Structure 1
Amino acid sequence: MSSDPWGRVDETGTVYVRTSEGEQVVGSWQAGTPEEALAYFERKYEGLVVEIGLLEKRVRTTDLSAKDAQTAIDHLRTQVDEHHAVGDLDALRVRLDKLVTTVESRREERKAAKAKQTDEARAAKDALVVEAEELAQSDQWRSAGERLRALVDIWKGLPRLDRKSDDELWHRFSHARSAFSKRRKAHFASLDAQREDARKVKERLVAEAESLSKSTDWGPTAARYRELMADWKAAGRAQRESEDDLWNRFRGAQDVFFAARSEVFAERDAEQIENLKLKEELADEAEKLVPITDLKAARAAFRSLNERWEAIGHVPRDARPKVEGRMHSVERAIQEAEEGEWRRTNPEARARAAGLTGQLQAAVDKLREQVDAARAAGNNAKADKLSRELEGRQALLDQALKGLEEFGG
C-alpha cells in the first residue's frame, strides 16, 4: 500500500483522496505501482489547479461574461466533486466559491455600470431630442441642417435603451428632423416661386431697357432708367443661373444709352462753351451803347445785336445768368431812355405838368403875401407857421418845374 498527505492506494489498487468529509474513492489502478497511481491522479489535480488559475485570471482581466464564467466554474466544480484527482480538493472548492463571489460582484458592477450607461444614454438622447425639436423651428437652414445631421451621427454612437424607450425617443427625434425638412422644403419652394416671379419681372425690365438703349430723348429716358433700376431692386433676386445674365443685359442696355448721351453731351458742352464766348463778345458790344446819347441809333444797334444773340444758341447753364444779365442791363437802359423821350414828347403829360406848376406858383405867391402881411401886423407866430407851409409848397413847385423842363420848357 502507498500513500501521501492527500491520498492513498490500498492493496486492491483502489485510490482514495482525503477530504474534510473523509476519504473518497478516486478510482481503481491496476496498470502499475501504487506510486504511479498516486502520481497520475496528482497530475490530474495539478491540471485542475491550472484550469482554476486560468479562470481566475480571465475573470480578473477580461470581459468574460458572468454567464460564461459561471458555466466554467460549474464545469470545474463537477470535476472537483467527482473526486477524480488527488490533492487538496477542499482548497479548490474554496477557490471556486471565492470565484463565484467574484463573478457575482463583477455581475453587479457590470449591472450598475450598464444601468449608469443606460441612464447617461437616456439623458444624452433626451438632450438630442430636445435640441432637434428646437432646431426644427429654426430658419437658419444651412447651419440647422448641418447640426441635425451631426446629431444623427451622435445618436448612432450612443448605446441602445430598452426597445420601448429607444423607439419613443427616436420617433420624436425623427419627427423633428422631418418637420425641419418639410419647413425647409416649403421655404425653398416659396423662394423658388418668388425667384421665378422676380425672373419674369426682370425679363420685362430688361426688354424695356434694351428697347430704350437707342433713344435720344435724353432727359425722359434717363429718368425712366432710374425708375427701371428702382423696380429692379424691388423685384428681388431671380434664380442664380438667370440673375447674372439678366443683370448683364440690363446693365449693358443702360451703358449703351448713357455712353451715347455722354458723347452727345460732351459735344454739346463744347458747343455751348463756344456759344458763351460769342455771347460775351456781343455783351461787350452792347455795353458800349451805354450811356444812351442817340436813342434811335442805340435801339437799332441793340436790335441787331439781339438778333445775332438769338441765333447763337445755348450756353452752359451756370454761365447763363451772368451773360444774359449784362444784355438785360443794356436793354433796361434803352427802355428808360425811351420812357424819358416819351414823357418829353407827350402833349397831355406836358399840359398836366404845366397846369400843376401854375397852381403851385399861385399858391406860393399867395402864401408869400400872407407871410408879409402877418409880419407887418406883428403876428410872428402866424408868420412862422405860414413860412413853414410856404417852404413845403415851394419844394413841390421846384419839383414840378424840373419835370416841366423835361418836356422842353
Structure 2
Amino acid sequence: MSSDPWGRVDETGTVYVRTADGEQVVGSWAAGSPEEALAYFERKYEGLVVEIGLLEKRVRTTDLSAKDAQAAIGHLREQVDAHHAVGDLDALRGRLDKLVETVEARREERKAQRAKQSDEARKAKEDLVAEAEQLAQSDQWRAAGERLRALVDTWKGLPRLDRKSDDELWHRFSHARSAFSKRRKAHFAQLDAQREEARRTKERLVAEAEALSGSTDWGPTAARYRELMAEWKAAGRAQREHEDDLWNRFRGAQDVFFAARSSVFAERDAEQAENLKLKEELAEEAEKLLPIGELKAARAAFRSINERWEAIGHVPRDARPKVEGRMHAVERALQEAEEAEWRRTNPEARARAEGLTGQLQAAVDKLRAQIEQARAQGNNARADKLEKELEGRQALLDQALKGLQEFGG
C-alpha cells in the first residue's frame, strides 16, 4: 500500500483522497505501481490548482463577465467534487467559494458603476435637453446652430438609458432642434423677402438717381438727392450679390451730378469774386461824393455809379451785406440832402413857416406888453406868471425862426 498526506492506494489498486468528510474514492489503478497512481492523481490536482489560479487572475485583471466567471467556477467545482485528484480538495473548494464571493462583489460593483454611469448619462442628457430648449428660442442663428450641432455630437457619445427614458429625452431634444430650425427658416425667409423688397426699392432709387445725374437745376436736384439718400438708408440691405452693384450705380450717378455742380460753382465763385472786386471799387467811388455838396451833380454821379453797379452780376452771399451797405449809406445821404432841398424850396412850407413865426412873434410882443403893464400896476405875481409863459413862447419862436432860415429867409 502507498500513501501521502492527502491520499493512499490500497492493495486492490483503489486510490483514495482524504477530505473533511472522510476518504473519497478517486479511482482504481492497475497499470503500474501505487506510487505512479498517486503521482498521476496528484498531477490532476496540480492541474486544477493551475486552472483555479488562472481563473482567479482573470477575475481580478480582466472584464470577464459574472456569467462567464460563474460558469467557469461551476465547471471547476464539478471537477473538484468528482474527487478525481489527490490533494487538498477542501482548500480548492474554499478558493472557489471565495472566488464566487469575489465575482458577486465585482458584479455588484459593476452594477453600482453602471447605475452611476446611467445617472450621470441621464443628468448629462437632461442638461443637453435643457440647453437645447433654451437655444431653440435664440435669435443668434449662427452661434446657436453651431452649438446645437455640437450638442448632437455630445449626445451620440453618451451611453443609452433605459428605452423609455432615452426616447422621452431624445424626443424633447429633437423637438427643440426642430423648433429652432423652423424659427431660423422663417426668419431667413422673411429676411429674403425684405431684401428682395429692398432690392426693388433700390433699383427704383438708382433709376431716378441716374435720370437726375445730368440735371443743371442745382438746388432742387441736390435736395432730391438728399431725399433719395434718406430713402436708400431706410430701405435696408438688399441681397449681398446685388447690394454693392446697386450702391456703386447709385453713388456713381450722384458723383456725376455733384462733380458737374462743383465745376459750375467753382466758375461762379470765381466770377462772383471778380464782381465783388468791381462793386467794392464802385462803392469807394460813391463814398467820395460824401459829404453831399452840389446836389444835382452828386445825384447825376450816383446815378452813373448805380447803373454800372446794376450791370455787374452777383457777388458771394457772405460779402453782399457789407458792400451793399456802403452803397445804401451814400444813397441815404443823397435822399436826406434832397429832402432838405425840398423843404428849403417848397413855397407852401415857407409860407406856413412865415405865418407861424409871425403869430409867435405877435404873441411874444403881446406878453411883453402885458408884463410891463402888470409891473406898472404893481401886480408882480401876474407879471411873474406871464414871464414864465413868455419863456415858453420865446422858445417856440426861436425854433420857428431857425426853421425859417432853412428856407433862406
Scaled by the length of structure 1, the TM-score of the pair is 0.97
Q: Does 1:89 align with 2:89?
A: yes
1:313-346 CA distance string (max 9 Å, x none): 1111111111100000111111111111211222
1:351-389 CA distance string (max 9 Å, x none): 222221121111111112122222222222322222222
Q: Which moved more, 1:161-170 or 1:333-342?
A: 333-342
1:91-139 CA distance string (max 9 Å, x none): 1011000100111111111111111111121112112111111111111
Task: Specify the alignment match of 1:145 in structure 2.
Answer: 145
Q: How does 1:15-26 map to 2 (within 5 A)?
A: 15-26=15-26
Task: Specify the alignment match of 1:264 in structure 2.
Answer: 264
* Cα distance between partner residues in 2 of 1:311 and 1:28: 154
1:242-290 CA distance string (max 9 Å, x none): 1111111111111221122122212211111111110010001101111
Task: Specify the alignment match of 1:403 in structure 2.
Answer: 403
Task: Specify the alignment match of 1:359 in structure 2.
Answer: 359
* Cα distance between partner residues in 2 of 1:375 and 1:26: 190
What is the identity, as a one-letter code, of the residue corresponding to 1:147? Answer: R
Task: Specify the alignment match of 1:107 in structure 2.
Answer: 107
Task: Specify the alignment match of 2:136 in structure 1.
Answer: 136
Q: Does 1:177 align with 2:168?
A: no
* Cα distance between partner residues in 2 of 1:361 and 1:134: 111
* Cα distance between partner residues in 2 of 1:96 and 1:214: 107
Task: Specify the alignment match of 1:3 in structure 2.
Answer: 3
1:47 is displaced (CA, Å) by 1.1
Task: Specify the alignment match of 1:213 in structure 2.
Answer: 213
What is the identity, as a one-letter code, of the residue corresponding to 2:371? Answer: V
Task: Work out the percentage of aligned pairs sharing the same amino acid.
Answer: 88
1:186 is displaced (CA, Å) by 0.5
The answer for unaligned runs of 5 or more in structure 2 is none
Task: Specify the alignment match of 1:74 in structure 2.
Answer: 74
SS at match of 2:137: coil
* Cα distance between partner residues in 1 of 2:194 and 2:380: 104
* Cα distance between partner residues in 1 of 2:353 and 2:138: 97
1:3 is displaced (CA, Å) by 1.7
Q: How does 1:364-403 map to 2 (within 5 A)?
A: 364-403=364-403
* Cα distance between partner residues in 2 of 1:152 and 1:107: 32
What is the identity, as a one-letter code, of the residue corresponding to 1:291? Answer: P
* Cα distance between partner residues in 2 of 1:273 and 1:28: 143
1:66-101 CA distance string (max 9 Å, x none): 111111111111111112211111110110001001
* Cα distance between partner residues in 2 of 1:360 and 1:272: 60
Task: Specify the alignment match of 1:118 in structure 2.
Answer: 118
1:11 is displaced (CA, Å) by 3.1
SS at match of 2:15: strand
State the superposition RMSD in angstroms: 1.4
Q: Which moved more, 1:232-241 or 1:96-105?
A: 232-241
* Cα distance between partner residues in 2 of 1:67 and 1:340: 138
* Cα distance between partner residues in 2 of 1:172 and 1:260: 66
Task: Specify the alignment match of 1:284 in structure 2.
Answer: 284
Task: Specify the alignment match of 1:201 in structure 2.
Answer: 201
1:296 is displaced (CA, Å) by 1.4
Q: Which moved more, 1:244-253 or 1:188-197?
A: 244-253
What is the identity, as a one-letter code, of the residue corresponding to 1:101? Answer: E
Q: How does 1:279-358 map to 2 (within 5 A)?
A: 279-358=279-358
SS at match of 2:160: coil
Q: Which moved more, 1:42-51 or 1:165-174?
A: 42-51
* Cα distance between partner residues in 1 of 2:376 and 2:52: 173
What is the identity, as a one-letter code, of the residue corresponding to 2:132? Answer: A
1:25 is displaced (CA, Å) by 2.2
* Cα distance between partner residues in 1 of 2:383 and 2:196: 104
* Cα distance between partner residues in 2 of 1:125 and 1:223: 63
1:28 is displaced (CA, Å) by 2.9
What is the identity, as a one-letter code, of the residue corresponding to 1:253? Answer: A
Task: Specify the alignment match of 1:60 in structure 2.
Answer: 60
SS at match of 1:25: strand
1:23 is displaced (CA, Å) by 2.1
SS at match of 1:138: coil
SS at match of 1:15: strand
* Cα distance between partner residues in 2 of 1:375 and 1:212: 97
What is the identity, as a one-letter code, of the residue corresponding to 2:309? Answer: W
1:36 is displaced (CA, Å) by 1.8
1:32 is displaced (CA, Å) by 2.6
Task: Specify the alignment match of 2:222 in structure 1.
Answer: 222
1:52 is displaced (CA, Å) by 0.8
* Cα distance between partner residues in 1 of 2:256 and 2:380: 95
SS at match of 1:216: coil
* Cα distance between partner residues in 2 of 1:4 and 1:268: 137
The answer for unaligned runs of 5 or more in structure 1 is none
* Cα distance between partner residues in 1 of 2:381 and 2:146: 115
